[in-house]
Amino acid sequence: MNHIRLISPVDGSLYAERPLIGSHQLEQVLQQAQEAQRTWRQLTLEQRAGYCLKAVDAMLAMKDEIVPELAWQMGRPVRFGAGELRGFEERARYMIGIAASALADVVPEPKEGFRRFIRREPLGTVLVVAPWNYPYLTAVNAIIPALMAGNAVLLKHASQTLLVGERFAQAFARAGLPDGLFHNLVLDHGQTGALIASGQVQQVNFTGSVEGGRMMESAAAGHFIGVGLELGGKDPAYVRGDADLAHAVENLVDGSFFNSGQSCCGIERIYVDHKLYPAFVDGFVELTRQYVLGNPLDQATTLGPLVRAQAAEFVRGQIAQATARGAKALIDASSFAADAPGTPYLAPQVLVQVDHEMAVMREESFGPVVGIMPVAGDAEAIALMNDSPYGLSAAIWTSDLDAAERLGEQLETGTVFMNRCDYLDPALAWTGVKHTGRGATLSRLGYEHLTRPKSFHLRHAL
């Protein structure tokens, strides 16, 4: 098939269709990017920032079109659509703002007779392969800092969010970004692998599945290029005995079910001190029942469909397996009128009497289901939280800051939260361990993967 078809989860209709780029056109794009980057890298940071800030403004000006467009593409309710653009703006402006300090020369202690420093140089062309679940947030993590660092950028967006790539292209065009510096590419998996293996890109930033990450590494093998990977997650939360119960319930319900549970750092399993467990579960279930599952274009809807019917069926399968092994489902799916097997519309579900023999507690769900287990204390909670092949983020609810830091040091994860979850602070590195991937975006560290160090060792004339 030489086209990418976007099927909307709202009603199963064909929402958009775009032709794949041809091999000759792709070669032209790569040449244009290389030529444009040679000039772009010579611009000052202030000049690059001017273009990028104009692009941010241009994107925000499209909000009224983007919000319903997102609902049609991936199912997020329109009442929440503007939130992603606020996060897009926060991250973009932050990374632009810290570029001067993050990219400044590194100067060691003085040495008589020498001038010594390390300069951060752009890599060349950066390929960003972005996912559908937070299509603006995930893409901006790499696109803006890559440009600020002096690179050209190629964006390959997920087929489910084809129009997001076009919005980025429109924003940069309206900002007057030099021709050839940014390209939105419509590629299939084979073309993406071939592009990486061509040796004509110098860095790949990929957000997606573990299997997709393996494909990226395989395509890049032998070409000595950087590959940044943010892959799967099964993020845990621990509610200690000293936690604010109402706050923990409210935040963890939202952290579990926002975006229909389709969040890389969404909460998928919860461990609660046995003293708080009964009250926590009661409060969690009561709040979960207040969701409104339905058409994401309706302002009353608080829970939209999953991205496709197959994703919903996968989660239904996890729930069925868990209940067959003794888990108890506390939500009556029939009370959500829109829930229907074979469709992407899936009611939220809360499971108790679960254990780590069940897939729902170990394998990524990426849907509106969460298992809750009681624990005897910190040691058991930490052991269970680390019992996972993933490690993106972990959250601890407690009134004891020192305890949170102490327990956080024991967690095998990229980010430790206290009394919050499911949020990226652009001042902190976004990274993971184990099968969640490698590399980092955001913060000052995010620039290190988009530049290469060059050392200058200059000796004064004798």
Complete domains list, the chain, with CATH: 3-231+436-459 (3.40.605.10), 235-425 (3.40.309.10)
Confidence category of residue 461, pLDDT binned at 50, 70, 90: confident
**Considering only CA atoms, which of 268, 440, 244 is closest in space to residue 369?**
268
Mean pLDDT of the chain: 97
Torsion (CA) 424, 372, 412, 130 in degrees, nearest 10:
-40
What pLDDT does residue 131 have? Answer: 98
Q: What is the mean pLDDT of residues 292-315?
A: 98
Calculate mean pLDDT across residues 362-379.
Answer: 98
| pLDDT tens figures, 163-191 | 999 999 999 999 999 999 999 999 999 99
Confidence of residue 1 (pLDDT cuts 50, 70, 90): low
Residue 76: predicted pLDDT = 97
Quick one: angle between helices 45-60 and 162-174, nearest 10? 120
Q: Which two tokens stand for residue 44?
A: 């000052």
Q: What would the mean pLDDT of 276-291 be, rounded to a whole number? A: 98
Indicate the helix (H) or strand (E) that contains 149: none
Catalytically active residues are 230
pLDDT at residue 462 above 80? no
Per-residue pLDDT, averaged over 360-387, amounts to 98
Give one word for 124, left, alpha or beta, with left for phi > 0 and alpha for psi -120 to 50.
Answer: left
Q: Is the pLDDT of residue 347 over 80?
A: yes
Q: Contact at 8 Å (CB) between 2 and 25?
A: no
The structure tokens listed for 73 are 């593409």
Percent composition of the chain: helix, strand, coil (DSSP 3-state, to 5) = 40, 20, 35
Q: Is 337 exposed, middle or buried (CB count within 10 Å of its CB: 0-12, 13-18, 19+)? A: exposed
pLDDT, position 448 = 96
> With bands split at pLDDT 50, 70 and 90, how would you rate the model's confidence at 133?
very high
Tens of pLDDT, residue by residue over 218-243, are 999 999 999 999 999 999 999 999 99
pLDDT reading at 195 higher than 70: yes
